[in-house]
Structure 1
Amino acid sequence: MFEKSYGNSVALSLAIFIAFFLIGWFVVAPNDEMAQPLIVAIQNEMGALSMSDDPMVLMIQIFLNNLTAALFLFLGGAVLGVVTGYVLLTNGFVIGLVMGYMTNLKGITLSLVSIVPHGIFELSAFFIASAMGFMLAESVYREYYGSGDAADTAKRLGMKFVTIVIPLLFLAAFIESFITPVLMNMVM
């Protein structure tokens, strides 16, 4: 049962993310009138995070920011997956918009180098966390109708979150802080 539910939840997560990634990249990013205010808003939001120039501090900031997003993806399942879906589609849209916009300005190579090295691990963690969120939503739904135990499901998934998602996020933050900037400088 777990494997089937997990596979379906990952597929749903990927479908939502990819759909909104493509909307961000192909619909909004090429339209400068639509993209520019959104890019400015994203830059302002990122600026508000006060990211450090020290790679070690930056790594911790990125890790905590991504951990917060992953927790929303997972625990958002407690409200029938509404929060999980919203966080997932928002991240898909923003990443698609930024990558599409960057590709239009700087080319595909820089765009890919800026996201792929750490994104492999970060996005994997997000997809796993969102799949867990959708599984939790299913469990809440089943419990409401008398055939599930959402607390037990949350506990089991929480242990997997700690042993799988958190290490992936830590690795992604390390790569994003120490390796991605070096690679970006090499292609600029």
Structure 2
Amino acid sequence: MDVLDVKVPRRTLGHLLLVFLLSALGGYWAGAASPDTALEAVRKIIGQIGPISDSSFHNFVKIFTNNSMVALLTFISGLFFGLGPWFIMAFNGFVVGLVVLAVHRMGGMPMGQILLGLVPHGVVEIPAIALAGVAGIVWYREIISGEGDGGERFRRGAVKGLKLFALSVLLLFVAALIEAYVTPRVAGL
């Protein structure tokens, strides 16, 4: 698949999404095995995120900014032997699994409502973060196995990666709009 004249390694994108999903299941399972530890971890996460605003616009800005920073970290981490995005997707998936468990079991929210709170924006947000990781991996692969001298490979890889990263940020903008304005209404939050 070509996007912005850059060949997107679909297999890598699919595998990053699979790592996220399996890690989310692992986070849910780990939380079920140790509920007290899961609850404490979720409390720390919520403390770091801070309160949700009554203003959808403020929530949109906060969500978009946070997700863009995660995408940037995921993108840059691809330069570390192409491995960083795998760890970031695994970590984020694990955290999502823990949060789902905590909200369901300890918060008493029905699983259907939790899914309505995740799916509308998650179907855009999670692939966007994975695409940022793919962008970093594309950059790394060009540096390692591209044609020309090192500087030329670095520049060409950066251009390819930045095109995909820009698309990732655009998708995160859409996901943040959905998360701030649509998800709360759909999920009844």
TM range (shorter): 0.7 to 0.9
- Please point out which of 40, 44, 47 is paired with 1:44: 47
Distance 1:4 1:167 in 2: 18
TM-score, length-scaled by structure 2: 0.84
Q: Which amino acid aligns with 1:63?
A: F
CA contact (8 A) 2:139 2:157 kept: yes
* Structure-2 residue corresponding to 1:157: 161
CA contact (8 A) 1:21 1:95 kept: yes
For 1:79, what is the secondary structure of its paired residue?
A: coil
CA contact (8 A) 1:77 1:84 kept: yes
* Structure-1 residue corresponding to 2:170: 167
Distance 2:8 2:55 in 1: 42
CA contact (8 A) 1:9 1:135 kept: no
The yes-or-no answer on 1:83 pairing with 2:87 is: no
CA apart distance, 1:184: 2.3
CA contact (8 A) 1:103 1:110 kept: no
* Structure-1 residue corresponding to 2:122: 119
RMSD after superposition = 2.7
CA apart distance, 1:30: 5.1
The yes-or-no answer on 1:133 pairing with 2:133 is: no
The yes-or-no answer on 1:70 pairing with 2:74 is: no
Unpaired runs of at least 5, structure 2:
none
The yes-or-no answer on 1:25 pairing with 2:20 is: no
Q: Provide, for residues 70-102 of structure 1, a one-character-per-residue CA deviation record: whole Å limited to 9, x for no partner.
A: 111112112223432232111111111111222
Unpaired runs of at least 5, structure 1:
none
For 2:79, what is the secondary structure of its paired residue?
A: helix
TM-score, length-scaled by structure 1: 0.84
Q: Which amino acid aligns with 1:71?
A: L
Distance 1:73 1:81 in 2: 10
Question: Larger helix proportion, structure 1 or 2?
Answer: 1
Q: Which amino acid aligns with 1:184?
A: A
Percent identity between the two aligned chains: 27
Q: How many residue pairs align between the two structures?
A: 183
Distance 1:72 1:85 in 2: 12
CA contact (8 A) 1:113 1:184 kept: yes
Q: Which amino acid aligns with 2:87?
A: Y
Pick closer, same or farther for the CA change 1:5–1:175 going to 2, 3 Å: closer
Q: Which amino acid aligns with 1:161?
A: F
Distance 1:62 1:94 in 2: 16
Distance 1:158 1:4 in 2: 13
CA contact (8 A) 2:38 2:102 kept: yes
Pick closer, same or farther for the CA change 1:126–1:60 going to 2, 3 Å: same
Distance 2:33 2:179 in 1: 26
